[in-house]
Structure 1
Amino acid sequence: MNRSKDGDLAARPEPSAVAAAQKAKPVKLLESDSVEDAAVCVFSAALDHFEANIACFLAGQSVESVHQMRVALRRLRAAMGLFGKALEGERLDAAKARAKRLGATLGAARNWDVFREMLDEGPGAALGDDPSFHALLRDLDGRRAGAYHAARAALEGEETDVFLAEFRKAIAGRDWEPAPGAADEGAAMDFARAALGRLRKRVRRKSKNLAERTPEERHQARIALKKARYGAEFFETLFDADDAADYTATLARMQDGLGAFNDMATAQRLLDEIDGDGGATLRASGFVRGWFAHAAQDAIDHARKSEKRLKKLKPFWK
């Protein structure tokens, strides 16, 4: 990521230049950074992450590149929400809306990927050569291919080019204004302490009695965890590295555990979509639903343990 204020940001790589999917790189902030400096760095890092994986996807359409693009857009939207306490503007709003639309398209492809992995790792071995299971896989793979086609069309389309060009330009020119009630210029470290404190309180509130919550409430708790984790990763270089690493690692484990609930809920929805086309898949579908219902018990146990870990988790920014 380029930290310069003159807008001299890295060019979008060609598909042939990237051999593998790219994970998010650390955001390196300085104690002397202002809130605007931090926003420039965090926004730019998310865009760099996204663009690197566009190149990988267009070169080979890998499952991991879809996942990483979706993560990059989620990190970007989380960052824009976080810095929305200090900065606002039409270009920020437009970029957030475009990122949401792109994320939804990529999310559809990712959901089919995850569902396929869940079948391969669990009930698939038990069902083996069952004809209804093969019918289920054929239907799934057809829908997955359609979702990938839509993802490629979106990434090669004009809206993605506009999103990247316009937002890069806004970042380079710092094309935003102070949000109502925010200071024109403040220290990134002070902003980080306040933001991370708010995120932590939200996670604790959303995670109370987690194992007994409804699926939607657990989903909201996971979103809060994810935002808290991203926030911690954005600002971790301003504080003690070891304490920050322990904090983010704990949140990541909790997020992964709650992710099982979300994956199973999504799988049920995708099964409904497949079963709506006819009866060839129904036998396998019923078996898969039962398998996931049994597996949900492990996720409930994980939720109880996660709530205990959260209560013991100390802020690293004090």
Structure 2
Amino acid sequence: MEIELKLQIAEDDVEKIASSGLFGSDPDTLELKATYFDTPERQLRANGFSLRIRRENDQLVQTLKGTSRKAAGLFARPEWERVVPSETLVIDSQTPLAMLLGHDADSLTPVFRMSVKRRRWQFVDGEDAVECALDVGEILASERRSPIHEMEMESKRGDLAVLFRLARQLDELAPVRLSVNSKAERGYLFLEAQAESFKAESVELVPEMSAQSAFQAIITACLRHYRLNEALLLDTRNPAALHQARVALRRLRAALTIFKALYADDDAELIRRDLKWLAGLLGEGRDLDVLIKRNEAEALRERLQTARDEAYDRIITALNGKRVRMMMIDLVEWTSMGPWLTNEDTHEQRTKPAPIFAAQPLKKFRKKVKKGGGKLDQLEEAERHEVRKDAKKLRYAAEFFAGLYTDKRQRRRHGKFVAALEALQDQLGALNDLAAAPDLIQHLGLSDDPDAQALAGGTKKKKLIAAASEAHGDFADAKRFWE
């Protein structure tokens, strides 16, 4: 089992890190050239594995590795290695390869290649030992190339905390950013057209899990969702990437609320505070994107676009700052080895079977949404906003816990429940956008502009409330999938 922390670094900072002396002795240098294999239908990738033959200087090594597609930063991956005589795959009973693919193993073919120069240090500090590998190279597919500049730190023995201590020391030398993709996954993504954004993936939960393990899996999936979109946002400033990065933060914050019974420490409160700040910052850009999309007045377009560009500048500056970079590393460390994992006061909640624990927040938030939204037309804006927030938490909880409810009746009920909740959330979201527009217009100094005032869309409010009330009725009728 391989346990490592992966960090992205800028090309210009590679030599600064390599020559820092942080890792002690001079490094070994390896020239690594790898060919990755899969079937035409990408069956290995679909099953969460990668397969390569890599030349390590003068030796050929075949490796089948669990790709940890839902991992974020700290990778714990099973792998099977063997020395092979040539670049022809060896398929036998020594690895799960034959079992995974059956007769389809005969159709394995190269899908992409990588070429990497690796400098490798053996860092030892008392009882702790870490292999630190600085990789510079490229992914190659057809005529296309994508650069690689990253640091991998693999724990060989001792306390995993040393990985995070080294990450912070590295960041003092040059900015480092949490990586959530294995090289194999980067290769697969490179084969595809660049996405505008990445939507949340399903969380890999099973009924046999404890509440603690479910919480860790959910936080990891949310963090991965965020980092995939943050990287796109930094590269492209695409509104879809910003929206999904913000959704990922909302899901993270919801998960921390849903599982609050599992932890009680100051580190968690600091994380919650930082996530709230970052979500608010991204929200400024998202609000302007929504306003621009609704705007039809040519005279107003330029002023809104200027405000949007300024908001995005502030966001990009923050994302490149140390506070955000370290926030993500702090979250991985807290999730994987924080003090909450050994707190006797929360032991009973942490060790509950995940399905039993999940029923608690699902029941709680369903009750709040059903009761709070019963008379939407009579509520004040602030009260409708609270219903919307509870509906959002309920929806995220329903999505997080989907894997815990596996029989046909539960899956059928789950689909209908989430669909009804999504429809309600859409209507409440539209009402919230409408309610937020006047304050945003005032903040932009456009209160006297008739085109800007038209964006407040007061005439649509009654229709939206009626639609939300109807959606709430459908939600209230949806059967609970967790019972």
Q: TM-score interval w.r.t. the shorter chain?
A: 0.7 to 0.9
* 2:451 counterpart letter in structure 1: A
State yes or no: 1:285 paired with 2:456: no
User: 1:299, 1:47 → 2: CA distance?
Assistant: 33
User: 1:19, 1:299 → 2: CA distance?
Assistant: 32
Three-state SS of the structure 1 residue aligned to 2:248 is: helix
- Alignment match, 2:206: 30
Match of 1:165 among 329, 342, 349: 329
* 1:284 counterpart letter in structure 2: D
Three-state SS of the structure 2 residue aligned to 1:296 is: helix
User: 2:264, 2:221 → 1: CA distance?
Assistant: 19
User: 2:454, 2:274 → 1: CA distance?
Assistant: 39
- In the TM superposition, 1:230-269 aligns within 5 A as 230-239=396-405, 240-269=410-439
Deviation at 1:287, TM superposition (A): 3.8
User: 2:303, 2:384 → 1: CA distance?
Assistant: 30
Match of 2:253 among 65, 68, 77: 77
Deviation at 1:107, TM superposition (A): 0.4
**Residues 313, 179 of structure 1: alpha-carbon distance in 2 compared, 3 angstrom cutoff:** farther
State yes or no: 1:206 paired with 2:273: no
- Alignment match, 1:307: 472
**Residues 287, 57 of structure 1: alpha-carbon distance in 2 compared, 3 angstrom cutoff:** closer
User: 2:195, 2:373 → 1: CA distance?
Assistant: 40
Give the total of aligned pairs.
300
User: 1:187, 1:274 → 2: CA distance?
Assistant: 50
Three-state SS of the structure 2 residue aligned to 1:91 is: helix
State yes or no: 1:271 paired with 2:441: yes
- Alignment match, 2:300: 136
- Alignment match, 2:320: 156
Match of 1:147 among 308, 311, 326: 311
Deviation at 1:185, TM superposition (A): 1.6
For 1:12-38, what per-residue CA distance to the aligned partner results, in whole angstroms no more than 9, with x for missing partners? 459x96643100000121111001100
Q: Is the 8 A contact 1:136 1:274 kept in 2?
A: no
Q: Is the 8 A contact 2:437 2:455 kept in 1?
A: no
Match of 1:56 among 232, 237, 257: 232
- Alignment match, 1:8: 75
TM value normalised by structure 2: 0.58
Q: Is the 8 A contact 1:209 1:307 kept in 2?
A: no
User: 1:75, 1:253 → 2: CA distance?
Assistant: 18
Identity of aligned residues (%): 27
- In the TM superposition, 1:78-227 aligns within 5 A as 78-119=254-295, 124=296, 133-177=297-341, 178=343, 180=345, 183=348, 184-227=350-393
**Residues 194, 35 of structure 1: alpha-carbon distance in 2 compared, 3 angstrom cutoff:** same
Q: Is the 8 A contact 1:2 1:8 kept in 2?
A: no
Q: Is the 8 A contact 1:29 1:41 kept in 2?
A: yes
For 1:188-246, what per-residue CA distance to the aligned partner results, in whole angstroms no more than 9, with x for missing partners? 11100112111111111211211221111111111110000000111111113222121
User: 1:241, 1:12 → 2: CA distance?
Assistant: 30
Q: Is the 8 A contact 1:85 1:182 kept in 2?
A: no
Q: Which has the higher contact order (CA 8 A, sep 6+)?
A: 1
Q: Is the 8 A contact 2:446 2:452 kept in 1?
A: no
Q: Is the 8 A contact 1:275 1:285 kept in 2?
A: no
Stretches of structure 2 that go unaligned for 5 or more consecutive residues are 1-67, 77-177
Match of 1:42 among 215, 218, 238: 218
* 1:142 counterpart letter in structure 2: T
Deviation at 1:182, TM superposition (A): 5.9
Deviation at 1:3, TM superposition (A): 6.8
Larger displacement relative to structure 2 (267-276 or 147-156): 267-276
Report which of the two structures shows the higher radius of gyration computed on alpha carbons.
Answer: 2
Deviation at 1:155, TM superposition (A): 0.9
User: 2:402, 2:338 → 1: CA distance?
Assistant: 23
- Alignment match, 1:129: none
Deviation at 1:186, TM superposition (A): 1.3
Q: Is the 8 A contact 2:417 2:479 kept in 1?
A: yes
* 2:333 counterpart letter in structure 1: K
**Residues 61, 179 of structure 1: alpha-carbon distance in 2 compared, 3 angstrom cutoff:** farther
Deviation at 1:135, TM superposition (A): 3.9
Larger displacement relative to structure 2 (65-74 or 173-182): 173-182
**Residues 2, 302 of structure 1: alpha-carbon distance in 2 compared, 3 angstrom cutoff:** same
Q: Is the 8 A contact 2:70 2:224 kept in 1?
A: no
Three-state SS of the structure 2 residue aligned to 1:8 is: strand
**Residues 259, 3 of structure 1: alpha-carbon distance in 2 compared, 3 angstrom cutoff:** closer
Stretches of structure 1 that go unaligned for 5 or more consecutive residues are 125-132
**Residues 99, 266 of structure 1: alpha-carbon distance in 2 compared, 3 angstrom cutoff:** same
Q: Is the 8 A contact 1:7 1:171 kept in 2?
A: no
Three-state SS of the structure 2 residue aligned to 1:176 is: helix
Larger displacement relative to structure 2 (147-156 or 267-276): 267-276
Three-state SS of the structure 2 residue aligned to 1:85 is: helix
Q: Is the 8 A contact 2:198 2:244 kept in 1?
A: yes
